[in-house]
Structure 1
Amino acid sequence: MGKVKLAAIATRAPNDIDKEATKKRLETLLEELDDLQNLLYAEDRHALLVVIQGMDASGKDGLIRRVFGRLNPQGVQVASFKEPTPVELSHDFLWRIHAQAPARGRIQVFNRSHYEDILITRVHKMITDDVARERMRAINDFEWLLQEHGNTDILKFYLHTSPEERHKRLEERLTIPSKMWKYNDNDLKEAKFWPEYEKAYEDCFNHCNAVPWIIVPSDQNWYKEYVVAETLRDTLKRLKMKYPGLKK
């Protein structure tokens, strides 16, 4: 993966992508995912970690509900990593993350993740650039450990949205009753730091890429959901899983 510049990457679907046809393909993908997740659970050999990152109002919650909502809840878990508790702060920064790593046969979704510890902490000067680089090395080692010794496949998605779309979505939280519960006074304050967050993300993409990042154009929810669902489907199919036979 070469040097990433988010400004040079589209936030919308390619012009030649048909919206209605893509929505129909998404429905087929979700049916396939249901079958594949059941197979993953039954075989009990592999694990899948799905990391979802993005700016405020990039649509992380909606994506999880749409793509993972049809799967068997026995085999899918979602963890959200917000401000660390005093107990979590008394350990190394990956302690609370490792505790949520997926078991064999399971899909674990991180709605925000260990990457927050080199993003918000860096933007708000809670850590130095040197500490951020040390944490990046630790993250690379952690992901290697999960892959090599946890039989875990890792998918890392960044939901790439334009500032205009993010502002529109934040404004909807002030006016649309069904979205008001999402409103947080801090969202508008954090919006002032969006350029700094983009720089922090770019540095993260360029130094934590042993597991490659998938940058998903996310101004249109239908396209974002399709890209993520297709990637999940393809990843699970590559595992060449089989149902176990009768237990003796």
Structure 2
Amino acid sequence: MDNKMLCCNISVPMCLLESYPCQGICYSPLDTQEDLALLDNSLRQDKELQQRFLRFLAIKCGRDLKTTVWRMLQSIFSNHLSINTTWTGVGDKACFRDMFLKTIVQRAIRKNPATQDATDEAIQVNVTRYLKGASEHEGGKRRRTQCYRILNLTMDIAVQLLNLCQGNRPLENYVMDFCSLASQVDINEVALKEMFCFGLIESISSLMPGGRSPLNLAQYIDLALQISGSTFTVGETDIKPMVSRHGHQA
């Protein structure tokens, strides 16, 4: 095969090996199935490219099979292409099992002393897991960060609820502060009723039923208001947890 023609038409994965330069090749992870097919066909036909690519992958080795497989595949596939590739090629996804590239990857893995005895089956398991997890690679960190943020916010508000008390101020002010915080968290009503009662002044809390009272939270708060002689009331909508359109609490 004409190497000049190959260099003009193929995009080979990112390569930092100055020892094996190939002028004209774009060293970056592949992003489309068309580029993947072109690389695979070129590898089948060009033994020199096979050796260069094998050496390139061999330096991606890790301390174990999983690390080695992940490093090698990350250097070949963009995350977008990984999402659209499976071991068996389900639907319109690329089929890694039938690629010549699979053979090159297996050879490269076995050049690593730590993974030289890896079986075809073990390699298949790790490649399959990597490709299946591609969508998680792309959005997992962002989702986990969002979950941590929500969790931290919930815990912070729960602490504020536990520390909230009526003190010397009017009960109506305490109720408004409590409802404002309670509307931001998804805590069961028994716990919320206990928190509310705990923050009341003793002359009112001593007359309140326990948190397991059949009254819902709004009715429970209204009872405290009635005991104090207040005409103020709360509605259930004032203390329902606020939920965003994505299903997460605000």
Which has the higher relative contact order, 1 or 2, with Cα contacts under 8 A spaced 6 or more apart? 1
TM-score range (shorter-chain normalised) is under 0.3
- Structure number with larger C-alpha Rg: 2
More helix by share: 2
TM-score of the superposed pair, with normalisation by structure 2: 0.23
Given the two structures, how large is their TM-score scaled by the length of structure 1?
0.23
